[in-house]
């Protein structure tokens, strides 16, 4: 398993700094893994990248710039990936040795080529018990409905990702959600990676738990319904 190397694509919003904390965890990655940072045009991150290259010289690093937009940035990073598997990470994720070992075990499986993998979600900095409800909701949505979201660390072979057509770039939200539907519609399997990937609850702190939770519970079904209709037509008509 240890001979599997990854391309890790991390899109950054303007002014994003959480990615520097995430990069501290990259000492856990297999040798030869590639990190692709996709920053917004106008950002100046050359010094930070040079420091990371010195600290983690056994890894490969790319810093590229792009028009802002998560789908655009993810696709641009994926297009430059040189390894056979791509791991898409949000900048406010935190990874552990357990994550890496579970990921490598998944990729060593004979079914890894035609699969889109995801982790279980938990918030490492939650300050309210209410966020445990969101964690449970994510498990229900992912494992029972087969609808994980991008903060659960999608990883997929580059070949399969390209066959899906990449992330949608014409949507104001939910490009990760739509990629899952693209997978369902093309017969790519959604597979759980049995490890918890930590992400930040900072958006809930900033916008309020109730308002953000209600917003998400409105937006994702609104986006899912037409995709479900399309899937039914593909399968039965």
**Where would I find the H helices in 92-174?**
97-107, 130-139, 158-163
Domain borders along the chain are 6-236
Q: State residue 4's pLDDT score.
A: 73
pLDDT value at position 5? Answer: 79
CB 154 within 8 A of CB 179: yes
Identify which of 145, 138, 120 has the alpha carbon closest to the alpha carbon of residue 225.
145
* Fold topology of 6-236: Spore Coat Polysaccharide Biosynthesis Protein SpsA; Chain A (3.90.550)
Q: What is the pLDDT of residues 12-68, one digit of tens each?
A: 999 998 899 999 999 999 898 999 999 999 999 999 999 999 999 999 999 999 999
> In the block, which residue shows the tokens 């990073």?
77
How confident is the model over 132-188, as pLDDT tens digits? 999 999 999 999 999 999 999 999 999 999 999 999 999 999 999 999 999 999 999
pLDDT in tens, 195-230: 999 999 999 999 999 999 999 999 999 999 999 999
Contacts of 75 (CB under 8 A, 6+ apart): 166, 167, 169
5's CB contacts (< 8 A; 6+ apart) are 30, 31, 32, 33, 34, 83, 84, 85
| Cβ-based neighbours of 89, under 8 Å, separated by 6 or more | 8, 9, 10, 22, 95, 153
- Give the model's confidence band at 3: pLDDT under 50 very low, under 70 low, under 90 confident, else very high: low
Residues 123, 126: Cα–Cα separation, whole Å: 6
What pLDDT, on a 0 to 100 scale, did the predictor assign at position 57? 92
pLDDT at 211: 96
Residue of 36, 142, 135, 50 lying closest to 85 (CA atoms): 36
Q: What tens digit of pLDDT does each residue of 65-110 get?
A: 999 999 999 999 999 999 999 999 999 999 999 999 999 999 988 8
Q: State the pLDDT at residue 1.
A: 46
User: In the predicted model, what is the mean pLDDT of the chain?
Assistant: 94
């Amino acid at each position: 398993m240890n001979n599997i190397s990854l391309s890790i694509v991390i899109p950054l919003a303007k002014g994003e700094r959480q990615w520097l904390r995430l990069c501290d965890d990259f000492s856990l990655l297999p040798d030869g893994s590639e990190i692709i940072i996709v920053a917004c045009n106008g950002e100046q991150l050359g010094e930070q990248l040079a420091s990371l290259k010195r600290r983690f010289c056994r890894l490969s690093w790319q810093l590229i710039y792009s028009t802002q937009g998560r789908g655009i940035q993810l696709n641009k990073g994926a297009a430059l990936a040189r390894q056979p598997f791509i791991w898409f990470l949000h900048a406010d994720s935190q990874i552990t040795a357990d994550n890496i070992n579970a990921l490598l075990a998944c990729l060593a499986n004979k079914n890894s080529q035609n699969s889109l993998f995801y982790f279980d979600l938990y918030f490492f900095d939650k300050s309210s018990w209410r966020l445990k409800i969101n964690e449970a909701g994510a498990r229900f949505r992912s494992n029972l409905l087969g609808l994980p979201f991008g903060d659960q660390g999608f990883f997929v072979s580059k070949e399969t990702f390209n066959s899906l057509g990449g992330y949608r770039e014409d949507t104001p939200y939910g490009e990760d959600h739509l990629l899952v539907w693209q997978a369902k519609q093309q017969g790519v399997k959604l597979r759980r990676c049995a490890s918890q990937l930590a992400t930040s609850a900072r958006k809930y702190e900033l916008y309020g738990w109730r308002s953000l939770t209600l917003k998400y519970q409105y937006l994702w079904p609104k986006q899912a319904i037409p995709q479900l209709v399309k899937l039914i037509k593909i399968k039965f008509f």
